[in-house]
Amino acid sequence: MTFQQNTEKNEGLKRIPPGDWLRRWWIWLLAAGLVGIVAYSQLGKAAKTTGGAARKGAKLPAQSVPVTAMAAKKGDIGIYLTGLGSVTPLQTVTVKSRVDGELMRVHYKEGQIVKKGQLLVEIDPRPFQAQLTQSQGQMIRDRALLANARVDLERYRVLSSQDSIAEQQYATQKSLVRQLEGTVKFDQGQIDNAKLQIVYSRITSPVSGRIGLRLVDPGNIIHATDTTGLAVITQLEPITVIFTIPEDSLPPVLAKLRAGKRLPVDAFNREQSKKLATGSLLTLDNQIDPNSGTVRLRAEFPNKDHALFPNQFVNARLLLETRRGATLVPTATMQRSPQGPFVYLVKADRTVSVRQVRLGPTEGDHAAIDEGLSPGDLVVVEGAERLREGSKVELKNQGPGNPGNARKGKQ
């Protein structure tokens, strides 16, 4: 706005009569008063509405929280030691040849269960049979010479007693007989060796177990010095599992073994969702691993169904003892706080109270309560996340136990 325009505006305001200014002032004052009255009226209504709602809400009863509860029961629970382990056969044998020759026949199928002494392969026995024939012929010849030497020795003995021959000739004949006796004995050794080679040409299984994949095919020339064997056999019945436990758990295990007690061991799969086999503790190692602070244990399993496979990873669970007559609750009932574990105890008036407990051993979905609960006490299993001390509850799906018979929670 220019200076001239501003001047003209001020002059126009000066030309308004004084009565017009007064009337305009009262109009603005009246409008402000009306606005204030309307605002005050609206605030009063809102305050009445809020207060009435508050008073009405105070009269409403507390809403019940639907929960699932279960009564604590009396039962037995096992105290277990768990550890990671692997399946280890008692015997693993690499079948090798003890003679040289051509592999003629294979009498097994890959992966077959073989018995101890069962024929596996045959090596060409003809060279050994020929050697046996030679040794037997040599022995017949040497035996004939020995028989003739013995006849001459008897003749020389008679002549020597009559002083008809020199003493030296008689002594020489005795030495010849002894030499021929040694030759015959050597021939017998050659015959036995040839027979043994024939036996070795038929390779049998040294143990019972599962045979692996064939490493050499028929038609190949094999040698006793070959580093690669013909097949590998692993014993499956029985089989063992080697697993580890912390060194702090070793004293009670040693005490049980020294007392001659049998400690059961269960083998579970990798996810611990399925039990594979049940066996017993066989022995333990003679030293603790200083790097991990653990000790190795060996458990034996009958494995009749071959559920355990060599080098399989398993979770081993050793039953140390069974606690009788313990108070048991589902593990889902346990809650945690800075003061320790607790449960929500359902009282007879369908309210809950926080009950601090001392937790004992756990097994699967059950936990033992050493202190804080008694058999028959009703505890919340599901819905505890919405509860507080004194909350009203509604039992939507009660587990075993009658709430009417449940003991009242101690205040």
The answer to whether residue 175 sits within a structural domain is yes
Residue 50 has what pLDDT?
A: 44
The answer to whether residue 242 sits within a structural domain is no
Same domain as 73, residue 140 = no
Beta strand residue intervals within 21-110, DSSP E: 65-71, 73-89, 92-95, 101-106
CA distance 350 to 394: 7
* 243: nearest Cα among 307, 294, 308, 305: 294
**Per-10-residue mean pLDDT for the chain, 411 residues long?**
47 50 58 64 52 44 82 90 93 94 94 94 95 96 95 91 87 94 96 95 94 92 92 94 93 91 93 92 93 94 94 94 90 89 90 90 87 90 88 74 39 34
In angstroms, the Cα distances linking 407 to 71, 296, 368, 376, 391 are 10, 47, 18, 6, 18
In this structure, what are the phi and psi dihedrals at residue 151, rounded to the nearest 5 degrees? -65, -45
The answer to whether residue 279 sits within a structural domain is no
* 121: nearest Cα among 227, 226, 219: 219
The answer to whether residue 162 sits within a structural domain is yes
Residue 361 has what pLDDT?
A: 87
Q: Are 322 and 79 in contact (CB under 8 A)?
A: yes
The answer to whether residue 238 sits within a structural domain is no
Same domain as 189, residue 153 = yes
CATH number for the domain harbouring residue 191: 1.10.287
Residue 296 has what pLDDT?
A: 95
The answer to whether residue 305 sits within a structural domain is no
Instruction: Write down the pTM of the prediction.
Output: 0.65
CATH number for the domain harbouring residue 73: 2.40.420.20
Residue 30 has what pLDDT?
A: 66
Q: How many domains does the chain have?
A: 3
Widest pairwise Cα distance in the chain = 194
Q: Are 245 and 318 in contact (CB under 8 A)?
A: yes
Sheet with 202-204, side-by-side order of all strands = 202-204, 119-123, 101-106, 221-222
The answer to whether residue 229 sits within a structural domain is no
Same domain as 383, residue 332 = yes
Same domain as 390, residue 340 = yes
Residue span of the structural domain in which 14 resides:
3-57
Give the pairing of strands 393-395 and 65-71. Answer: parallel
